[in-house]
Every structure is written in C-alpha cells, then in structure tokens.
C-alpha cells in the first residue's frame, strides 16, 4: 500500500474516534438550556469528523487518482520533501498550544503566525508582522465579541 493510503488509514482511525466522541460523548454533559439551541458545541466536530471520514475514504479507495501520475510520494526519499519544515511546524504547533494560557491568545497567536511564516520561507518582516498581528486581533475579536466565547487576550502576569 502506498504512503498516502497509510496516512489516510491513520487519519480515518483518528476521524472515527473524533466522530464517536462528538456524536456520543460530548452532548451528554450539556446543560438543559443548551439542549434547546439549534447549534451545539459538538456541531462543528460532527461536521469535521464526517468530512474527514469522507476524505480518508476517497484516498483509501483511490477515487482521487487520475489517469496521469502527477507525482507519487517516494517514501525512500523523504528527505527531499522538506521534512524539516514539517517537523518544525508540528513542534511550533505544540509550543503554541502550551503557550496559549500563559502568554494569552494575542501574543501566542501572533508569535505562532510570525514564526510559522518564517519557517515556511517568508522573509519580508514589514509584511509578516503586521499581517500576523492583525489576523490575531481580528480572530480574537470575532471569537470574543461576536461569538461570545471568552479567550484570555493578554498574558496572565499582565492581568489578562
């Protein structure tokens, strides 16, 4: 089996577990007034798990394959695929998750976007920094003010 199908099989297992959690365990602890809402906290995970299962099955069954072979992934030459960037981005995601509470949403998201774009090869700091900071502020505003979900914007030592 090709590498892309192995990855799809692993993702299918993850999506099935995520879907089971979203469909059967998340809604049990809802408050009674939340059960009358049209959209529950588990709505997005349910949709995401179904889409992930569909995408994984499409890859597993080979439905995405075309007549022309664009470029198969050669697992013997993984070093040619910028594996270092991918591993560094994964490490950056873990660091982002760990820094979210102590540094606050704005600081950790801005730093993640700046460092992530640097890892991917962007070197125009005069573009990278304002876009990252503006994106972090807009996402925080939308989640905090529009959706009404509290997210600590500033680090805990400042009083956020």
Angle 125-141/83-119 helices, nearest 10 degrees?
Answer: 90
Q: Model pTM?
A: 0.56
Rounded Cα–Cα distance for residues 95 and 89 (Å): 10
Following DSSP, what letter does each residue of 42-64 receive, concatenated?
A: THHHHHHHHHHHHHHHHHHHTTT
> Each residue of 106-157: pLDDT tens digit?
999 999 999 999 998 888 999 999 999 999 999 989 888 887 778 778 777 6
């Amino acid at each position: 089996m090709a590498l892309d199908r192995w990855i799809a099989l692993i993702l299918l297992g993850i999506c099935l577990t995520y879907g089971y959690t979203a469909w059967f365990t998340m809604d049990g602890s809802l408050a009674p007034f939340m059960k009358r809402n049209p959209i529950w906290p588990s709505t997005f995970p349910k949709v995401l798990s179904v889409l992930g299962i569909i995408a994984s099955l499409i890859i597993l069954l080979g439905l995405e394959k075309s007549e022309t072979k664009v470029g198969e992934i050669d697992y013997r030459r993984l070093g040619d695929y910028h594996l270092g960037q991918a591993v560094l981005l994964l490490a950056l995601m873990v660091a982002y998750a760990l820094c979210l509470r102590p540094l606050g949403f704005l600081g950790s998201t801005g730093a993640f976007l700046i460092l992530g774009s640097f890892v991917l090869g962007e070197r125009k700091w005069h573009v990278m920094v304002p876009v990252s900071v503006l994106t972090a502020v807009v996402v925080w505003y939308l989640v905090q003010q529009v959706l009404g979900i509290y997210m600590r914007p500033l680090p805990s030592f400042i009083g956020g």
